[in-house]
A and B are shown apart, each in its own frame.
Chain A
Amino acid sequence: EVQLVESGGGLVQPGRSLKLSCAASGFTFSDYYMAWVRQAPTKGLEWVASISYDGGSTYYRDSVKGRFTISRDNAKSSLYLQMDSLRSEDTATYYCTTGITTGGDYFDYWGQGVMVTVSS
């Protein structure tokens, strides 16, 4: 059974940093693109970043470029999102997902999500 378990969320002040982690199991982690998708409270879904099988390629939405860094450790079957210079508009539930790439990605497995609140 595929499992994606996020951790590392919480309340953080604007301008500070936070690092999310995602522990994956039940599949061969290195066979999948991975991605983070977020959802602001009562809002829709928004793709944040994706990373290729070996981490050699990364992709970001414009609003997080230069502030967020996606990375992975295939030996540990883990995905990460380092979030720096956080803004109030980054407040959301962040989902770890597996990605199937076709030019863009679609997302076939999702974690339960972790809440990030950016507020003073």
Chain B
Amino acid sequence: DIQMTQSPASLSASLGETVTIECLASEDIYSNLAWYQQKPGKSPQLLIYDASSLQDGVPSRFSGSESGTQYSLEINSLQSEDAATYFCQQHHDYPPTFGSGTKLEIK
């Protein structure tokens, strides 16, 4: 199985700041990487797929990038509603595997 190593486990940032969350794949996943946002008590929501394609309806302050097997989610101009846990997931091969999650707190 492809392992996804996500970091950091948690972070705290202020309104208006920019944060970056990273995921390292254990092998080449050819840009087949998705990002999800999950708010407490809610279902996950797809933010980004294919490493950098924004899902319909997702604000443009969310963006995804890649460098080799390292994938990043950047959130610009943090808003209070961005407080959530974020997960990466490879969709290159079965079984689809998720990162362990990053809990984002807004100061």
Contacts and interface: CB of A to CB of B under 8 A. Distances in A.
B49 interface: yes
Prevailing SS type, chain A contact patch: strand
A48 to B, nearest CB: 9
Contacts of A111: 43
A45 B89 contact: yes
Contacts, number: 69
B34 A106 contact: yes
A47 B44 contact: no
Interface in B85-106: 87, 89-101
Query: Which of A46, A61, A102 has its CB near the most chain B CB atoms (within 10 A)?
Result: A102
Prevailing SS type, chain B contact patch: loop
A45 B44 contact: yes
Nearest to B6: A44
B55 interface: yes
Interface residues of A, number: 24
Interface in B34-53: 34, 36, 43-46, 49-50
B69 interface: no
Interface in A66-120: 95, 100-113
